[in-house]
Amino acid sequence: MNTGMPLSRVNGEAGGQLSVTDRGLLFGDGVFETLAVRDARPCLWARHMARLQAGCHRLGIAPVDEARLRTEVDELLQAAPAAAQSVLKIIVTRGTGTRGYRPDPGAVPTRIVQLHDWADRDSGETGIKATLCSLRLGNNPQLAGIKHLNRLEQVMARSEWDDPGIREGLLLDQAGRVIEGTMSNLFLVKDGLLTTPDLARCGVAGIMRDVVLELAGRQAIDTRVSDVGLDALFQADELFVCNSLIGIWPVVALNSNRYPPGAVTSGLQSRLQDYDDDHHTWRA
Model pLDDT for residues 75-114, shown as the tens digit of each residue: 999 888 767 789 999 999 999 988 899 998 889 999 999 9
Residue 238 a catalytic site member: no
> CB neighbours of 265 closer than 8 A, spacing ≥ 6?
189, 238, 240, 248, 250
Residue 160 a catalytic site member: no
Alpha helices in 167-247 (DSSP H): 207-218, 230-235
- For the chain (284 residues), the mean pLDDT of every run of 10, in chain order, is 72 87 96 94 96 97 96 91 85 93 92 88 86 98 97 98 97 98 98 98 98 95 97 98 96 96 94 78 69
Alpha helices in 83-199 (DSSP H): 152-158
Q: Per the residue annotation, which of 33, 72, 96, 147 is the catalytic one?
A: 147
Query: The pTM is what?
Result: 0.93
Name residue 87's beta-bridge partners: 36, 116
Q: Per the residue annotation, which of 34, 110, 131, 182 is the catalytic one?
A: 34
Residue 6 near residue 119, CB atoms below 8 Å: no
Distance CA 50, CA 19 (A): 27
Question: What architecture is the 7-117 domain classified under in CATH?
Answer: 2-Layer Sandwich (3.30)
Neighbours of 264 (CB within 10 A): 21
Ranges of each domain in the chain: 7-117, 128-276
Q: What class is the 128-276 domain?
A: alpha beta
Q: What is the pLDDT of residue 187?
A: 98
Q: Per the residue annotation, which of 33, 72, 180, 238 is the catalytic one?
A: 180
Distance CA 266, CA 221 (A): 13
Neighbours of 68 (CB within 10 A): 12
Residue 168 a catalytic site member: no
Neighbours of 133 (CB within 10 A): 22
Distance CA 40, CA 236 (A): 38
> CB neighbours of 123 closer than 8 A, spacing ≥ 6?
none
Name residue 281's beta-bridge partners: 276
Helix (H, G, I), strand (E, B) or coil at 153: helix
